[in-house]
């Protein structure tokens, strides 16, 4: 199919929605509907577009709104269906209060500049909210350096040094293996042990589980947050995160 034909069909789809917004377009004769030939319908559509061009923008806006609502609803359903994997998956690093009344889940990549921007907000929330649980989902999608860093971070859990190592990796400009090991040593990790633990099959299983979960939720980039029943893609400032946490807390009290 040619691109012009595809565009025309999309325009007709949007116009069909537009016509419904202004009362619909029916051809009636003596109380019964009359089916018009395709050519005549297309002429009516063209004439209408030339006469009322702004209606197509209204239709497209409405179509986009409905599509966004449908995506959000699918994501909420996916969050609910995967709640246990999100908040209580064995092997996930946790910060804050493990028994907190609200859980904030972050999918991130160590090479993601937007992920790095939200680190101060996360650290502030952890310091201020004693009832907040944060779950870190290693989601290395930006190349081999990301995968190596994620492996090293998960391996650091065996030495109870995940969180300081995580923040060190988030501030590192160089994520080569040598740099990662230097950072590990700087936060008190046994690097020889770390190198061995990085090859653990359990870590590969963990990373693959995170990737599968992200696909299930429709997450395509980093960072992405889950709090309550909401999935929030992209970098979010502290004020918005705090608002979402309080909304989830309120919902939990009334649930």
Residue 45, pLDDT score:
78
Asked if residue 31 has pLDDT above 70, the reply is no
Candidate from 24-38, 116-130, 133-147 with smallest mean pLDDT: 24-38
Asked if residue 127 has pLDDT above 60, the reply is yes
What is the residue extent of each domain of the chain? 3-73, 83-254
Q: Quick one: 83-254 is in which CATH superfamily?
A: Glutaredoxin (3.40.30.10)
Tell me what the pLDDT averaged over the chain comes to.
85
Cα–Cα nearest to 127, from 242, 249, 247: 242
Q: How confident is the model at residue 3 (pLDDT cuts 50, 70, 90)?
A: very low
- Condensed to tens digits (0 to 9), the pLDDT of residues 73-101 reads 777 778 888 999 999 998 899 999 999 99
Whole-structure pTM value: 0.73
CA-to-CA distance for 212 and 141, rounded, in angstroms? 12
Element (H, E) at 32: strand 32-33
In the chain, what's the furthest Cα-to-Cα distance?
88
Reply yes or no: is the peptide bond before residue 202 cis, omega within 30 of 0.
no
């Amino acid at each position: 199919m040619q691109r012009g034909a595809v565009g025309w069909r999309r325009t007709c789809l949007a116009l069909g929605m537009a016509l419904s917004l202004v009362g619909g377009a029916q051809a009636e004769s003596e109380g019964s509907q009359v089916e018009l030939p395709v050519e005549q319908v297309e002429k009516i559509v063209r004439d209408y577009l030339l006469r009322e061009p702004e209606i197509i923008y209204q239709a497209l806006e409405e179509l986009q709104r409905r599509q966004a609502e449908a995506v959000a609803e699918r994501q909420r359903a996916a969050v609910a269906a995967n709640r246990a994997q999100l908040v209580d998956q064995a092997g996930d690093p946790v910060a804050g209060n493990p028994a907190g009344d609200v859980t904030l889940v972050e999918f991130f990549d160590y090479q993601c500049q937007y992920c790095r921007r939200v680190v101060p907000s996360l650290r502030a929330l952890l310091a201020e909210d004693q009832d907040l649980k944060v779950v870190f989902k290693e989601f290395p999608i930006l190349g081999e350096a990301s995968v190596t860093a994620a492996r090293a971070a998960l391996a650091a859990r065996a030495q109870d040094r995940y969180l300081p190592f995580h923040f060190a990796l988030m501030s590192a400009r160089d994520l080569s293996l040598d740099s990662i090991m230097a950072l590990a040593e700087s936060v008190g990790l046994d690097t020889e042990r770390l190198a061995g633990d990085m090859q653990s099959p359990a870590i590969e299983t963990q990373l693959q589980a995170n990737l599968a979960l992200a696909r299930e939720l429709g997450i395509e980039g980093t960072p992405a947050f889950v709090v309550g029943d909401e999935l929030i893609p992209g970098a979010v400032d502290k004020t918005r995160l705090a608002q979402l946490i309080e909304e989830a807390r309120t919902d939990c009290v009334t649930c």
